[in-house]
Amino acid sequence: MNKRINTKDPFSYRGDLPLKGINGQAFKHFDVDADMSRIDEEVCRALAKADLDFIPNVYGDKPPDFPDEKGRPPLEDPTIPNQEGMSTQESRKYRIFKRKIDIPWAWAIPLKPNRFKTRDQDITPWASIADQTPYTKHVIENKMPFSEVGRVMVYGSWAGSSVPCHIDEPDGPYKLHINFNPKHYRPVYVWNPITKKKIYKPKDHIFYTFNILDYHGVDAVHISAIL
Ligand SMILES: [Fe+2]
């Protein structure tokens, strides 16, 4: 049993493979009373006004023998030096355009910045861009089962794109996070490496969590299903 300091409820995960899960499930959902259209409007405004130059770092691995990843490049190796004459961000973008590395997310906005290691701790203030998302901030602070709010991020990818299957960190303590996709369903899944099957998030899970120590990804959705 691993109790987290940033949640009002106890959570546990099994330490054994293949799936660590949350309380014995691949996903757990939360009943949060929120107007998703309002959140969608705020997030889209924030995306329009924010600097989207930074490509989020995800340095975990892809699962071995995962059919969807055949022909796709590997995730990046942060120990490889920059391209000559390029900054770190420029080198990463160059490698994406050259199809040498794959990335899960195209951009990220830190609404409440924090380091990955301390992401469960309320040690940093909301960023000025969060002035664009007052209702979203209210929902996160008052309607979610956190005893303290650590890092808050908007992760984005273009409509119609997939998020390659990956793991965020190979090992580490479980820290509660809650995801939500305002307005539209995205086929988020965790991957069982033994049965070699995707376990999809149920469609009624609007606010949900899974264990980032499990392999996970998002299938592409045709744009006609999003509009
Ligand atoms: Fe991830």
Q: Is residue 22 part of a domain?
A: no
CB-based contacts of 161, cutoff 8 Å, min separation 6: 106, 220
Query: In degrees, to the nearest 5, what angle opens at C-alpha 166 toward C-alphas 15 and 78?
Result: 110
Q: Is residue 102 part of a domain?
A: yes
167 C-alpha to center of ligand 1: Å?
6
76 C-alpha to center of ligand 1: Å?
14
In the three-class reduction of DSSP (H, G, I as helix; E, B as strand; rest coil), residue 157 is classed as coil
Q: Is residue 61 part of a domain?
A: yes
Q: Is residue 14 part of a domain?
A: no
141 C-alpha to center of ligand 1: Å?
23
180 C-alpha to center of ligand 1: Å?
13
131 C-alpha to center of ligand 1: Å?
26
Q: Is residue 133 part of a domain?
A: yes
Q: Is residue 215 part of a domain?
A: yes
217 C-alpha to center of ligand 1: Å?
7
**Domain of 168?**
28-226
164 C-alpha to center of ligand 1: Å?
9
1 C-alpha to center of ligand 1: Å?
23
176 C-alpha to center of ligand 1: Å?
13
Distance in angstroms (rounded) separating the CA atoms of residues 111 and 127: 5
85 C-alpha to center of ligand 1: Å?
30
Structural domains of the chain, count: 1
Strands 107-112 and 163-166: unpaired
Distance in angstroms (rounded) separating the CA atoms of residues 208 and 180: 7
Q: Is residue 11 part of a domain?
A: no
Supply 45's token pair: 């405004």
For residue 69, give the DSSP letter: G
213 C-alpha to center of ligand 1: Å?
9
Q: Is residue 92 part of a domain?
A: yes
pLDDT in tens, the chain (227 residues): 334 444 555 555 554 456 888 888 899 999 999 999 999 999 999 999 999 999 998 877 888 778 877 888 888 888 999 999 999 999 999 999 999 999 999 999 999 999 888 898 999 999 999 999 999 999 999 999 998 999 999 999 887 889 999 988 766 777 789 999 887 888 999 998 888 889 999 999 999 999 888 899 999 887 666 55
